[in-house]
Structure 1
Amino acid sequence: MDVHIAESPVEKQTIRTGLSPRLLPRLKEKAIKLLLQAAAFTSVAITLGIVGVLAYESFHFFQQVSVVDFLTDRQWTPLFADAHYGILSLVSGTLVTTTVALLVAIPMGSLIAIYLSEYAARSVREFVKPVLELLSAVPTVVYGYFALLFVTPTLQTLWPDLPGFNMLSAGLVIGFMIVPYVSSVSEDAMRAVPVYLREGAFALGATRMQTALRVVFPSALSGITAAYVLGVSRAIGETMVVAIAAGMQPTLTLNPLEPAATMTAYIVQVSLGDLPHGSVGYQTIFATGLMLLLITLLFNIAGHALKKRYRQVY
């Protein structure tokens, strides 16, 4: 008498593929691992490609322009007949607008993070945080015209001699623009602090403000530092706000009430296509981009060092 034994789904799949039941899951895991590695290395390869292009084009630029003049000359007039290539003018404008932005974003973002983390009810937090993060979804060109057409006229009521293009209005608007980056990441870091630290502070008689400032904030300083570094990088790399509101004239000044050009604004100006590709004037955008990359890298290294120093392990 013939006895028919039903085949299990695994056996059927094994027959179809010719692979053992144990080998097939391993191959799937291996494929998933390779896919994830490819995604990770793709981002690294793109970064290396950007650095390589900047370094290659900048090398040709520095074959015709002295590095010493590039770093020490006080004038930046690469588009004039009497060309000067002093990057200090663009660096000063970038640092001034970034400083003004951080003076707005860091205190405001930190206070918002403390409120959302330690004071706000859950319903309030769930409403305020998404609304606050909508600020980061507004196109930067809108922020630029807001700075030019609203913030600058408002400031001119306080300083009648304030030029129409100035770094103060651009920096203020950039500060408001990056508040969501600072507040959101800082609030997440503060909410990650264990509850028992708060309870211990309350048990010792600390108020909610004392607990927030002396216990929670220092414990979350690693993540808060990452939020600050993110804000710095975002402020340094901002383009449209400074291009519209701060002006396009490179000026070596630390006065935020004056107009000046930033590195990103200059790159936009030259990238419009008025200069022939391969000329010294065109290659200045790669040298400027390389300088911008190095400045951002220095801030990120400093932030990483601070984050590593104050990292808390619970």
Structure 2
Amino acid sequence: MQTGNLLLLVLILVALAYYLGLRRSVALARPLGGIRHLQSLPFYYAMRVALWCAIPALVVLGLWMVLDDTLIRQLVIGGLPEGLRPPSPGARGLLITQIQNVASGALPRGSVAPELAAAADRLVGLRGINRLALAVAVLAAAMFGAAWGWARISPRLRAREQVERILRGLFMLCALVAILTTVGIVLSVLFESIRFFHKVSPMEFLFGVHWSPQTALRADQVASSGAFGAVPLFLGTMMISAIALLVAVPVGLMSAIYLAEYARPWVRSFAKPALEILAGVPTVVYGFFAALTVAPFIRGLGESLGLDVASESALAAGLVMGVMIIPFVSSLADDVITAVPQVMRDGSLGLGATKSETIRKVVIPAALPGIMGGVLLAASRAIGETMIVVMAAGLAANLTANPLDAVTTVTVQIVTLLTGDQEFDSAKTLAAFALGLMLFITTLALNVLALHIVRKYREQYE
């Protein structure tokens, strides 16, 4: 049975358990004179039975899906003759891939040894048994849990407290999953970055001005060590992000002020959704627009003024990226400006201030935390953008402050370094994790800076 069908069947059992629990609680309350004689409402008794049906089934399903593939691989490898069993984990992975290709039909059975063809048949059989056993185990756990929860229903049972305790645990588990995922990402990136810094000096990486991560296969070849100075990448990222923010922040903030304070309702109802459509356009479309329209226009304009403009420039990528992140600034700023209490505007106008003075001295300061949040989100979006930079700014790691030259960014180089089959023992591949660590530190610094600004504002205006 497919996992989706199994989950649908479990959902049906949960709904049935809820119905049976509700019926039983109402039936127990009827001889006592009504549901007011129960410790909890019938809803909580039914929810308790439904939870006892769902939780064991999902736990069994999760543990089974984590362990079954490893167990099946071990059984398949263990069934091979002693001479065909690979000694190393890498060789075992390649052999399992070959057996899976034979089992799926992607590889003809006649092109492999008979033992491997038999192992493919064994793999197919084990997968069939696994699916059947999984369905039986999950459904048995669901029905046993529902039966146990249904049998435990009594008028004195504090079902509400138990349901709230279970839901509180589930909510805490969800929070822990998010936290542990973040910790896992940080630790994995940090571990690989430490491996990279064992091969390349941190001083060279942070302050070097030459980036050429291509390494030779043999030590006697030219450029076998590579160059991992990331300053050109950092400078290119900051340049393109700064150009994008110079476009997005003024335009987004001014459009938000107009929509919130000056626009008529019918204009706002049309203009705001039209502006937010920009956030839904795929980045590859922006990349095409930048490469085919904006970059040639900037190059032609520069040549008419006697300037040397590259066919792929930071200016083209930054301008288009700025247009892309306008909704991030505008939408959040509009929401927080609209949320400013009207009494603050009325008080300012009553004291003789003009509408523009009210906006500058009352509304904007009151909405500053939300505006800073929008600007921070836009900055993070600009720093993490890849497709526009690849198509409009190029891949050249040039150390330049001229926005008319071709540059590259950290995210583009991460994609370039991890494209294709890579060995995670080389400095070239590990450099991607070091660049990712720098992106994480940069985002963290932006968050700390925004929090400092908001706290300073609150101390001043609250």
Q: Call closer, same or farther: CA 1:198–1:22 in 2, change over 3 Å.
A: farther
The number of aligned residues is 311
Q: Which residue of 1 aligns with 2:267?
A: 124
Structure 2: any 5+ residue segments left out of the alignment?
1-29, 46-149, 216-222
Q: Which residue of 2 aligns with 1:56?
A: 191
Q: Which residue of 1 aligns with 2:241?
A: 98
Q: Give TM-score scaled by structure 1 length.
A: 0.93
3-state SS in 2 of match to 1:28: helix
3-state SS in 1 of match to 2:458: coil
What pairs with 1:1-314 in structure 2 (closer than 5 Å)?
A: 5=31, 7-9=33-35, 17-20=152-155, 23-80=158-215, 81=223, 82-160=225-303, 161-273=308-420, 275-311=422-458
Q: Give TM-score scaled by structure 2 length.
A: 0.64
Taking the aligned partners of 2:31 and 2:278, their CA distance within structure 1 comes to: 65
Taking the aligned partners of 1:49 and 1:125, their CA distance within structure 2 comes to: 44
Residue by residue over 1:159-188, the C-alpha shift from the partner in whole angstroms, topping out at 9 and shown as x without a partner, is 023211111010011111111000111111
How far did residue 99 of structure 1 move? 0.4
More helix by share: 2
Over alpha carbons, which structure has the higher Rg? 2
Q: Is the 8 A contact 1:226 1:304 kept in 2?
A: no
Q: Which residue of 1 aligns with 2:7?
A: none
- RMSD, matched Cα: 2.1
Of 48-57 and 129-138, deviating more is 129-138
Of 216-225 and 303-312, deviating more is 303-312
Amino acid paired to 2:384: G
Amino acid paired to 2:396: Q
Residue by residue over 1:177-212, the C-alpha shift from the partner in whole angstroms, topping out at 9 and shown as x without a partner, is 111000111111111211111001111222222211
Taking the aligned partners of 1:249 and 1:275, their CA distance within structure 2 comes to: 21
Q: Call closer, same or farther: CA 1:23–1:116 in 2, change over 3 Å.
A: same
3-state SS in 2 of match to 1:157: helix
Of 12-21 and 203-212, deviating more is 12-21
How far did residue 44 of structure 1 move? 1.4
Taking the aligned partners of 1:181 and 1:218, their CA distance within structure 2 comes to: 19
Taking the aligned partners of 1:143 and 1:21, their CA distance within structure 2 comes to: 63
Higher RCO (Cα < 8 Å, 6 or more apart): 1
Taking the aligned partners of 2:32 and 2:446, their CA distance within structure 1 comes to: 66
Q: Is the 8 A contact 1:61 1:284 kept in 2?
A: yes
Taking the aligned partners of 2:32 and 2:159, their CA distance within structure 1 comes to: 21
